[in-house]
Structure 1
């Protein structure tokens, strides 16, 4: 199985505790995900819900061609105000391992996302990644960066 790795970094002009609070709320993910993905958290969380190790999060998504799918991830690791990891348990990928890292910096917080993923279906999956999937993921994270800047401002140090 061919795996792929993408890394995204962004600085925010807010305290570490504020960024941690926002990004560990499962419901906030929908606020920074493009509407075109049809992303909807279907787990019965409220606005006070925070991720914890072992937490299962279910979603509806439209990853490609507007086809609605179920997706399930598990929060597998957390180190308070440093990182958490979500891994797919069921969904469109053969592998989805997404690390979210946070580090206090002068005047804000540095965030890094490390995503390792794989597409099923062998050669067809590799071709699909080259033509569609990688570009779609890059667009999602570009949208995410824009939305995060809109919510918290642009880091200017």
Structure 2
């Protein structure tokens, strides 16, 4: 197999992995009024920011644009899972905080997410997981041009380092 074919296959495989991960999120986590992707975002909030955080911080951490994240948060706010707490010193800055509804579902959501993660990553031993992590970081760095600035003209594709 020549190098071009191998590279092409690797790129298509990465795309397939992304699509299959999205399908797994839906299969394991979807609930009657909320998608699997939305649930996994809430799990991220519960694990990393149980007391709340800011939109810009979340953008940097999970690697999506402010517009995409704002739309996601708006939907979850409408469903009663998140709310905004305005900053007294800057009315434009709002803290995203989990609601009591989300807190009540915490254990169930974390358990489901843990089962899904174990099912997906359980095929890899710890050494392979470390290798994959390092390779993913290397590719993300290449795709983002080494930048994390969401205002950069070169980062319009929503590619950010966490």
Output the TM-score relative to the length of structure 2: 0.31
Give the structure, 1 or 2, with the largest relative contact order (CA under 8 Å, sep 6 or more).
1
TM-score (structure 1 length as normaliser):
0.32
Greater helix share, 1 or 2? 2
